[in-house]
Structures are given as C-alpha cells and as structure tokens.
Amino acid sequence: MISTADADRNGFVDFDEFERVLTQRKRQNSALMEVFRLMDRDGDGKVGFEDLKSHLQMTGMRVGDDEVKAMIEMAGGALNGGVTFDGLEKLLHGGF
C-alpha cells in the first residue's frame, strides 16, 4: 500500500500523496456506484442474478448461468438476494 502511494519513492507517504490516493479511490468508487445503480434495475440495493447476467451480456460478455452464479457467490451474495455494492466492489477489486 505504501509503495502505491509513495509517488516520489522516498519511503514515506506525505500528505499530498495520501490525499491523491484517497481522491483517486473516491472517484473509482463513485464511478463504480453509478455502474451498480444501472445494474440494480429494481432499486433494491442489490444486483441479482438477472441484473448481473443482463448487464454482462449488454456489455458484450458471453457468460453462462453457472458463471453468473459463481460471481454472485464470490461476492458474498445469495442467488435469491443478490450482491450488495460492497460485495461487487470486492469482487471487481479482487478482494477475495
């Protein structure tokens, strides 16, 4: 984490470097939240099986039912309940 933030490679993270990382992360989360809202068609705060499959197919990804189910499970969601924003964020950022 420090090596990512330490832009001048002096072994320390100064305030400007720290702020840059936080600002970048905030922008990424904001963009991801917009995508999540588009995917969550019924507005229940979760992306369900049909939501995720439809969105992936719309973006040109060819995915089967088993792959969509595996994504939902990896994100900590239940097939009948769906994936929350935090779960989707972890899945996309490789937090597992």
Which is nearest to 24 in space by CA: 51, 9, 49, 5? Answer: 5
The CA distance from 18 to 2, in Å, is 9
What is residue 42's three-state secondary structure? coil
What is residue 47's three-state secondary structure? strand
Q: Is a pLDDT exceeding 70 seen at residue 94? A: no
Domains of the chain in start order, with CATH, are 13-92 (1.10.238.10)
Sorted by sequence, the CB contacts under 8 Å of residue 26 that are 6+ apart come out as none
66-86 pLDDT per residue, tens = 998 988 888 887 767 788 988
Q: Is a pLDDT exceeding 80 seen at residue 4? A: no
Q: Is a pLDDT exceeding 60 seen at residue 95? A: no
Q: Which long-range contacts (CB under 8 A, 24 or more apart) does 74-78 make?
A: 77/46, 77/47
Q: Is a pLDDT exceeding 90 seen at residue 26? A: no
Say whether pTM exceeds 0.85: no
- pLDDT band of 96, cuts 50, 70, 90: very low
38-70 pLDDT per residue, tens = 889 888 889 989 988 998 898 888 899 999 898
Q: Is a pLDDT exceeding 60 seen at residue 33? A: yes
47, with CB counted inside 10 A (0-12, 13-18, 19+), is: buried
